A and B are shown apart, each in its own frame.
Chain A
Amino acid sequence: MSYETIAQNLVFGLFVGSMYGVAAVGLALVFGVLKVLNVAHGELLMIGGYVTFWLYTLLGIDPFLSLLISIPALFLFGLALDRVIFRHVVRLAGETKIKNSLLVSFGLTLILQNAVIQLFSADERGVQMSYSGAGLNLFGVALPYTRMLIMVIALVAILSLHIFLQRTYTGKAIRATAEDWEAAALAGISIQRIYLLTFGLGAALAGMAGTLVSVSYGVAPGIGLAWTLKALVVIVLAGTGSILGAFPVGLLLGAAEALSGTFIGPAYREVVGLVLFLLVLLLRPQGLFARA
């Protein structure tokens, strides 16, 4: 096997890893703050992909430009979902909360998937632009412009989120709520507003990931679950306390999958992620990036 092949696969692994990362950070944000696992996160991603597809097909809008629409659209959709559904789930406590949040979000996946099938049919959709095939060639490794743009956009998004959470007042309030919601509430922070905003942000990140996925993979109504599971593996590997740590772990997973696909065999790409998942749960259950 040539170095070029290995490098090529690794690079593509990182590209897909950046999408894993964005999807995972969205889920980690919601899970870390609301303490609710939104199983329908992948469906929000899927919808983001469809928004991009239809904007491209009907209006000719470039998919990367459509981010300006898919992100706010999914943000608003996320606000609506929190207001209508998840607001009631977060008020519950302990086991009831966990069970109900899983049940409710699973129901949501069914509703969203089937709504999309009804509206758009179950066909797989992809987006092909004029520049889809073009790219650089560096030391024999093909670097398509689309994939590089995806990576750059993902990095910018994660960096912006980092600055938002670390430097702005609202961002700090979100982190405080994630750490100790009672103390945050006692300090006068409006927990309802924080939850609403955070859910919207999580949905917006899912929508962004969906747009990026539509450009590189294509969308179909059924892709949600696979992406939710991927995101879940990433956040467990990163440690549930670490929201932004999910991004580098996403890259790591993408790279690990690519390398195992290259060296062991294409059928084993998915397996490595799950093996890592099990190893982390057994040996370091708090995750790779958890603080002591």
Chain B
Amino acid sequence: MLEVRDLVVAYGDLRVLWDVSLDVHAGEIVVLIGPNGAGKTTLLRTIAGLQRPLSGDITLEHAPIHRISMHQIVERGLILVPEGRRLFGGMSVLENLELGAFTARARQKRHQTLDRVFDLFPLLAERSGQRAATLSGGQQQMVAIGRALMGLPRLLMLDEPSFGLAPLVVRQIFAVVRDISREGVTVLLVEQNARLALDLADRAYIVEQGRIVGQGAGTELLANQHVRHAYLGYAPQTGEVTRIRD
């Protein structure tokens, strides 16, 4: 569904992504894990159109999207829930959600979609008139995901949805992501919490220093020694291989 080929992204003279290639197939949950500063957020932002790549291609359902405008990308069903929620703080929960349905396709169905969002997040229904800036982190994350869902995504990208949230709330959020995936929405997720992410994932990529250094099924990577030492908190045993490649 989504194909990224040899993507090179730079901020001015600083090259951040080096020939990154990945695939996301329809219906999958694909996860990107890796350390801070590896370029995972840059990758999502570039796919969403906030950043223009220096070279490389991004295609969504065989149509190139790396040169079209951001609202066209959303129209085609690719929606990013950005890092840090990025809600419109001065506006109410309901207004934030409604603004997610700007495109014609989404606006037509917005009443049904809103009902669906309130089903997924009953807490938001209670607080629909509340100013978004006054919500807790977890509630804000729900609004951010809800807002993205209002746009009727076919591929939903989430950038660190667990960031700054209590473990219980994180589990709720991840449960919702699983529900969304079951409804047929393809998911591309960037997560710091590697364990939770790999549990959820069908497939995962490991991003380090702007490159993809490994990939595999979620369960495979959970068992991988490098992943276990670098991202899952296991101490290396003597004799164990601790690099993904030499």
Contact = CB atoms under 8 A, between A and B. Distances in A.
Given A180-B88, A185-B50, A188-B106, A173 B99 contact: yes
Interface in B20-36: none
Interface stretch (A111-119, A189-197, A258-266): A189-197
A184 B151 CA distance: 12
- The SS class assigned to the A binding surface is helix
A125 B82 CA distance: 54
A280 interface: no
A187 interface: yes
Given A172-B95, A172-B98, A192-B69, A186 B50 contact: yes
A183 B96 CA distance: 11
A170 B79 CA distance: 20
Interface stretch (B70-78, B168-176, B182-190): B70-78
A179 interface: yes
Contact of B70 (A172, A175, A186): A186
Given A169-B98, A176-B99, A185 B87 contact: no
B80 A186 contact: yes
Contact of A189 (B91, B99, B148): B99
Interface in B76-118: 79-80, 82, 86-91, 95, 98-103, 106
B201 interface: no
Interface residues of A, number: 19
Contacts of A188: 70-71, 74-75, 79, 100-103, 106, 151
A97 to B, nearest CB: 15
B191 to A, nearest CB: 19
B90 A291 contact: yes
Contact of B71 (A169, A182, A190): A190
A172 B99 contact: yes
Contacts of A182: 50, 82, 86
Contacts of B86: 180, 182-183, 186
Interface in A122-146: none
B48 interface: yes
Interface residues of B, number: 28
B147 interface: yes
A185 B74 CA distance: 9
Nearest to B84: A183
A136 to B, nearest CB: 41
A291 B133 CA distance: 12
Contact of A179 (B49, B88, B101): B88
Contacts of B100: 187-188
Given A175-B90, A191-B70, A183 B82 contact: yes
Contacts of B48: 186
A28 B74 CA distance: 29
Contacts of A184: 88, 99
Interface string A145-176: 00000000000000000000000010011011
Contacts of A172: 91, 95, 98-99
B50 A175 contact: no
Which of the listed residues B50, B87, B88 has the most CB atoms from chain A within 10 Å of its own CB? B88
Interface string B31-75: 000000000000000001110000000000000000001110011
Contacts of B151: 187-188
B134 to A, nearest CB: 12
B74 A187 contact: yes
A187 B90 CA distance: 16
Contacts of A187: 74, 79, 99-100, 102, 147-148, 151
Contacts of B101: 188
B97 to A, nearest CB: 10
Contacts of B95: 172
Contacts of B102: 169, 173, 187-190
A137 B69 CA distance: 59
Interface of A: 169, 172-173, 175-176, 179-180, 182-192, 291
22 contacts: A169-B102, A172-B91, A172-B99, A173-B102, A175-B88, A175-B90, A182-B86, A184-B99, A186-B50, A186-B70, A186-B74, A186-B82, A187-B99, A187-B147, A187-B151, A188-B74, A188-B79, A188-B101, A188-B102, A189-B102, A190-B69, A190-B71
